Structure 1
């Protein structure tokens, strides 16, 4: 996001705002909240755009701007820099950052499963499990991203060491597909709608599926709270009213998702999110809709699973005591309308 966000400091309602675009001239408004999304085209982060499309932010009297990022690690950096108020990204960043002395927390939990799939290129049928990653180049959205975390866990769990394979940041969508086609990566982790497109063409197949809670438990040993809305803990303390209004809007969206079909949800999304094929978009959403929480609540044992996964390979977590109670709060979801 370097060069994409210029900061505008305004201490009216104690909000620090971000304006999109180099040399942007838009005026800062005290009631505006900027949220960066770690890939708005990904179905795992669908609740952010859907909330805007349904008008729930406006219903709460909020002026919310959503801006796009290639990967969650870039989004968290913008948050820590004070350029934005919140991030739609994976909950596991809250655990990782606490190990580095930085405190952020999820205030609404969108999903209870990653919604990710490890795909293997059709050119490499020799890769039949993560144990076969040795010598392979594996695609992730970005280094330090949640796809990086999960890929490392799958490899280490299968007995491999970090030097046995190479991680290559290839983004998502068309850049991921191009990396598969050009054999830059032999396998990689991605989300819908990219998954459905590669499966349809036969250029890749599913190696590890984490699109539903059941399949996630098989792969990771428990619920893995993933997509969430997180903010800096210090921001929450000074902006309870804004945090509550955001939670109200997001919780309404989670209930909308739980009560509507994939087709009905897709009809509410911008057409350019279909990636050129609405039927495939709906198909992917129908297959993965179970990843979403029905009410924005954190799965009971989810944080422990995340800590277990990250502790398997993360050097920054070694010898550290992580206070999981500081990585999320249910305060605002509990009070949501």
Structure 2
């Protein structure tokens, strides 16, 4: 009888081990959903480019790229557990920690925001700097978005209080351009390729340029790490193998961007990203390439700049103790380099 029981236990143990192995394999192969705060924005190019280059598949990953027009909406999807990762601005990790949410950037794509404060040409005579936005309406992608954060800081730095101007959420791309055309906003913050489109039509002009390290340092006082892949810390801790594969795929993409021209990169993108104006898209992409990191690492001093900016105006961050070391990790990208 004992031998029989032992045999049955052995069979049961083997079955349980097989089930556990199958569950682990299924978890590793499970679809990962990544929400992008506006997939067609060039600042978030690495998300779709990685898919186009086949790097997710090379890592054995099944990744679904989804898009929301504003980063704050993508952030909410992550907190609700609807997606596993967000390609959005790093500053959300600091803002969320101040609210008791643990989120960290695992790959950093942009060492600068890639954002530009554009002023409508009809208002350019009145608005020559951010000090002139009193009584004006400023467009952002969404309330609580990174464009909103940066707009508030630039106004604050210029001595303009939030009560002295109006912020209007107008989205990005076509909806942003429509807001300029319809005179619903006097100025607003947007990214490429919208910047180049507005410059080409002459409907808007550059007021503050944060597409380069020089422009960003002048506007914000240092490098401002921006577009990144961020995830809930608890999920990262429980899925290190999948996160490592994601990091490897994205670092390959950053190296591809570094080694290729705007024209060569554009050839890899879906046609709907540039529509009927491929030449304009290539030009916008060329203007944006300096913003990207070479290796996905967090730039030194970057988190401190972001914290300084948010602490100046964000009531949820101001005066709070923020552990910057818990808002990002280089663990996974460093492993790729080894």
The reply to whether TM is greater than 0.5 is yes
Structure 1 runs not aligned, ≥5 long: 1-10, 17-28
CA contact (8 A) 2:90 2:225 kept: yes
Specify the alignment match of 1:141 in structure 2. 141
Q: 1:15/1:303 Cα in 2 relative to 1: closer, same or farther (>3 Å)?
A: farther
Specify the alignment match of 1:285 in structure 2. 285
**Cα distance between partner residues in 2 of 1:95 and 1:106:** 10
2:231 counterpart of 1:231: yes
- What is the deviation of 1:13? 4.9
**Cα distance between partner residues in 1 of 2:169 and 2:295:** 33
- What is the deviation of 1:133? 0.7
CA contact (8 A) 2:311 2:319 kept: no
- What is the deviation of 1:215? 1.1
**Cα distance between partner residues in 1 of 2:336 and 2:116:** 32
Specify the alignment match of 1:104 in structure 2. 103
- What is the deviation of 1:31? 1.9
Specify the alignment match of 1:89 in structure 2. 88
CA contact (8 A) 2:310 2:318 kept: no
- What is the deviation of 1:248? 0.2
Q: Per-residue displacement from partner, 1:97-156 (whole Å, max 9, x unpaired)?
A: 000000100000001010000000011021000001100000000000000000000000
- What is the deviation of 1:220? 0.6
Q: 1:13/1:160 Cα in 2 relative to 1: closer, same or farther (>3 Å)?
A: farther
Q: 1:248/1:30 Cα in 2 relative to 1: closer, same or farther (>3 Å)?
A: closer
Runs of 4+ in 1 over 3 A off after TM superposition: 11-16
Q: What SS is found at the alignment partner of 2:60?
A: coil
Q: What SS is found at the alignment partner of 2:51?
A: helix
Q: What SS is found at the alignment partner of 1:117?
A: strand
- What is the deviation of 1:30? 5.0
Structure 2 runs not aligned, ≥5 long: 1-21
Specify the alignment match of 1:315 in structure 2. 315
CA contact (8 A) 1:13 1:31 kept: no
Count of residue pairs the alignment pairs up:
315
Q: Per-residue displacement from partner, 1:16-49 (whole Å, max 9, x unpaired)?
A: 9xxxxxxxxxxxx952111000000100000000
**Cα distance between partner residues in 2 of 1:31 and 1:101:** 28
Q: Per-residue displacement from partner, 1:271-318 (whole Å, max 9, x unpaired)?
A: 110143111111111111100001101000000000000011000012
**Cα distance between partner residues in 1 of 2:24 and 2:150:** 38
**Cα distance between partner residues in 2 of 1:198 and 1:319:** 39
Specify the alignment match of 1:164 in structure 2. 164
Q: What SS is found at the alignment partner of 2:81?
A: coil
- What is the deviation of 1:14? 10
CA contact (8 A) 2:139 2:176 kept: yes
More helix per residue: 1 or 2?
2
Specify the alignment match of 1:258 in structure 2. 258
Q: Per-residue displacement from partner, 1:170-199 (whole Å, max 9, x unpaired)?
A: 001110000000000000000011000100
Specify the alignment match of 2:5 in structure 1. none
| TM-score with structure 2 setting the length | 0.91
Q: What SS is found at the alignment partner of 2:122?
A: coil
Specify the alignment match of 1:71 in structure 2. 70
Q: 1:151/1:215 Cα in 2 relative to 1: closer, same or farther (>3 Å)?
A: same
Q: What SS is found at the alignment partner of 1:185?
A: coil
Q: What SS is found at the alignment partner of 1:36?
A: strand
CA contact (8 A) 2:115 2:210 kept: yes
- What is the deviation of 1:214? 1.4
Alignment of 1:4-153 (within 5 A): 12-13=23-24, 31-125=30-124, 126-153=126-153
Q: What SS is found at the alignment partner of 2:209?
A: strand
CA contact (8 A) 1:193 1:275 kept: no
**Structure index of larger Rg:** 2
**Cα distance between partner residues in 1 of 2:212 and 2:268:** 23
